[in-house]
Every structure is written in structure tokens, then in C-alpha cells.
Amino acid sequence: MLPASPMPSPDDCAARSGGPRTPFGRVGTFIAEDGRSGSLVSLGCAREETLRMGGFVDYLHRLSQHVLEQAPSSLEELAEQDWSAAGGTVAQAQQIRAAELDEVLSVLRLARFESREGWVFGYEHPSGQGGVLLTLRTLSPRPVASKVALQLTGMLLNDPVGDCGVGEQGVLVEWFDPLTLSSRSLEGVGAPEGQAPRTVQDMLEDRLGEGARIESYACFRGGA
């Protein structure tokens, strides 16, 4: 199992850009076929209408897949990596795509999670304006865990837990402990009189078994 540390490792990383002003953005996810790893990327642009253009959506999808497969540890490293889709570097590919779209493109944030004793799940809002990447440690089969993950990702997107500080190199310098989410009370889920309200952790153990827990999560919204 990867360490459940509040600070991300090179394979569990997130970053935010300090590049050109891109007030609009879209979030994309890419999950490995085996469900053991996944990525989350926020791509910014200067015009709102660009968010719905096929060329923009396609590039975000390819970029999310690249982050999953190549595991960059920072935005700077991402820009310098060979572009897995068509050759050259990622920075060069982004310049070409920006010219095709007559746009300013900027990778705002990225995250990549991996788990050997659980599953990684991704969720994108239908509008593309927000997304969540979540790792659950559990021995339950992936289809069972996915139902729980869907509830949790919806909760995170609608009511995110805090925000992350950003260092000089665009790498997150603060990562919120998953216990922050696990200890949250579940609204609308009653508890017998005199007992403490049920928490996310209670729900995890009820549905996925003893020892199930949240290993890591990230919640991004489009735009900077």
C-alpha cells in the first residue's frame, strides 16, 4: 500500500499554475483500466465558449491520460515531458493546440493517485466545471466500492473540504488529511437518540467492511 500521508508523494501529486490569466476552465479525469490509479487535470482558457469546443475537450482528455501514464511531479516537469500523443514536448503540443483554437491555454492543476490495496475513482460534473479524484482503501470488489465513491465524490464536489496552499514552483505545499472528510457528519442520516451523528467513516465501514477508509482525494474547479 502507498503511504497514507497528508503530503503527496511524486505519484500522489498535485500542482497549480502561475501562468497566463485563464479565467475559464474545464476539469478532466482519467482512470486506469485496472482501477488502481487515476489522474485529475484542470485546463484553463481565456474564453468561455472554448470550453465546449471539441479540440479543447479532446486535448484535456489526452492530457489527463498523459498525466496518468507519465506521472509528472510538477507542472514544470509536465511541460518538459515528451508528448505521448504525437511527439515533441507537452509545452509544444499545447502551443500548437492553442494556435488551432486561437486561445490561451494553461494547465492550472494536476493530481495523480495510486493504490495497491484499494481503488481510485474519478468524477466530472457534466458541465466539466468541477471534478474529484478519490482513493478508497478496501477489500471490497470495485463495483461495490464504486457506489460508495459516487456518493463521496458528489459530496466533495458540492461541498469541498478546504483549499490547498501553493508553493513557488506551483506544487501544493499543504494536503488535507483524509480524516477531515472521514469524520464529517452525514446530513440526512439519522442516529438513535443520545448517540453521535453518523460520519462518513461509519458509512464506509458499514458498506465496505472494517478497515475501509479514504486514502486521498482532490477536488478541482475549472478556471483560475
- Supply the pLDDT for residue 163: 45
Helix (H, G, I), strand (E, B) or coil at 110: strand
Measure the CA–CA gap between 222 and 202, rounded to whole angstroms.
Answer: 31
- Supply the pLDDT for residue 35: 97
- Supply the pLDDT for residue 164: 43
Distance linking the first and last C-alpha atoms of the chain: 34
Measure the CA–CA gap between 130 and 152, rounded to whole angstroms.
Answer: 14
- Supply φ then ψ for residue 83, to 5 degrees: -75, 110
- Supply the pLDDT for residue 177: 59
Count of alpha carbons within 13 Å of 128, Cβ hemisphere only? 22
Answer yes or no: are the C-beta atoms of 105 and 44 closer than 8 Å: yes
Give the C-alpha distances (Å, rounded to integers) separating 28 from 48, 56, 186, 196, 197. 16, 11, 27, 37, 34
Answer yes or no: are the C-beta atoms of 172 and 219 closer than 8 Å: no
Q: Which amino acid is at 197?
A: P
Which domains, from first to last, does the chain contain? 13-221 (3.30.479.20)
Close Cβ partners of 110 (under 8 Å, ≥ 6 residues apart)? 13, 14, 15, 39, 40, 41, 42, 67, 72, 75, 78
Q: State pTM to two decimals.
A: 0.80
- Supply the pLDDT for residue 197: 57
Measure the CA–CA gap between 152 and 112, rounded to whole angstroms.
Answer: 18
pLDDT string in tens for the chain (224-residue length): 333 323 333 344 444 444 556 789 999 999 999 999 999 999 999 999 999 999 999 999 999 999 999 999 999 999 999 997 777 999 999 999 999 999 999 999 999 999 999 999 999 888 888 888 999 999 999 999 999 999 888 777 776 554 443 333 333 333 455 666 777 776 644 445 555 558 888 889 999 999 999 988 888 887 65
Measure the CA–CA gap between 33 and 1, rounded to whole angstroms.
Answer: 19
- Supply φ then ψ for residue 201, to 5 degrees: -65, -40
Extract the C-alpha cell encoding 170. Answer: 506551483
- Supply the pLDDT for residue 8: 36
Extract the C-alpha cell encoding 17. Answer: 499554475
